Homo-oligomer: A and B are copies of this chain.
Amino acid sequence: MPASLELRDIHKEYGGRQIIKGVSLTVAPSEFLVLVGPSGCGKSTLLRMIAGLEEISSGDLLFDGERVNDWDPARRRIGMVFQSYALYPHMTVAENVGFSLKLAKMPRAERQQRVDDALRTLQLEELHDNKPSQLSGGQRQRVAIGRAIVRNPNAFLFDEPLSNLDASLRIQMRMEISRLHQRLRNTVVYVTHDQVEAMTLADRIVVLEGGVIRQIGAPLDLYERPANRFVAGFIGTPTMAFLQVARCEETSGRLAVKLVGQDEHTPLLELDTVASATRGEGPVTLGIRPEHCRLTAPDGAMLAGTVAMVERLGADTFAFLDLPGAEDTVAVRLGEDASRIAVGDRVGLQFDAEKAHLFDAGGIAVRSPAR
């Protein structure tokens, strides 16, 4: 039975160091929630607290409205894939996967059936009788997944379950997890570093940074309307470019900006945002994604710079520009013109103001493009 999860102002510290600093969050029954965030931000810790493996320093954890802080992991009936796999070294692949069923006293025949099914799904049938020490990294990870999915828990907790798989297997596994979720409708909390996974699997994505939630929302929402510079920069590859705004001006209650590096006679960039939004002090930043940029001739372009690097990925080619007002190189997705661009070229950058994001001095988004 899918469970609803609720986290109320959860804190966690390790020997005085605050790791989770007040996380509140509700996960609806059958929801697929993806947790992303930089390395060390506390994702695994959060997952382990939900599982009951780590003590909650303060705050309440509720399953279906009931406080479970003190429940035993077993009682919470969850399936979990550990980031470190944590396979039982003395058991074969099949035994590892079937262990929880055995504990649940499922009859042997039925158990074998379920284990075989899971192994087939995970393309592990051949390794049925291998010990974990005889498996490759990806094979171990799949066994760990098998162990979690073989029974039907209230909720699944996945800690980077696909990180060691190759692209095609990863797509398959991703679909498999998705299909599983479609079928079982369990509640899922899923940690990943893979944005494609996050975007495709999630009902909602939670972005965590330093133990604090920075944004919760549907995948495309996060991509298209990041609430702050952190989320904007974290979601999307290559990263959104941030351009410093030199000057903001009001024109009929609306905002127009001039970017650092634009010379005097370039026209102001008009944004359909009320000017009051940027009343705060400090520099304002404009953000723009690679796919919304175009390269032009340097003359008459919004900004002019040089190509620092070109990445040819096959399907796409990205140019990375050194620009005066940018904090980092600015990524531009190239189209047909890809083959003509080379490192060192002097080029112009052009983008659609409609697609630009604007962040105030505190990094809070004051404008996001309309859908």
Within the complex, which residue of B84, B237, B315 is in contact with A236, where a contact is CB–CB below 8 Å?
B315
**Could you say which residues of chain B place their CB within 8 Å of the CB of A39?**
136-139, 141-142, 164-166, 169
Q: Is the CB of B170 within 8 A of A193?
A: yes
Residue pair A160, B167 in contact (C-beta under 8 Å): no
Determine the chain B residues whose CB is within 8 A of the CB of A238 once the complex forms. 171
A99 at the B interface (CB under 8 A): no
A228 within 8 A of B: no
Establish whether residues A200 and B38, one from each chain, have CB atoms under 8 Å apart when the complex forms. Answer: no
- Check if A134 is an interface residue, CB within 8 A of chain B: yes
A163 within 8 A of B: yes
Interface presence of A44 (CB below 8 A): yes
A71 at interface by CB-CB < 8 Å: no
A234 part of interface (Cβ distance < 8 Å): yes
Candidates B141, B166, B196; contact of A38 at CB < 8 Å: B166
Q: In angstroms, how far is the closest chain B Cβ from the Cβ of A158?
A: 13
| A40, A139, A200, A312 pick with most chain B CB within 10 angstroms | A40
Q: What are 7 pairs between A and B in contact, CB < 8 Å?
A: A39-B166, A83-B164, A168-B237, A170-B193, A219-B314, A223-B313, A315-B333
Known: A39-B164, A39-B169, A196-B237. 10 other contacts (CB 8 A): A39-B136, A39-B138, A44-B136, A83-B137, A83-B164, A84-B137, A163-B164, A170-B193, A199-B314, A219-B312
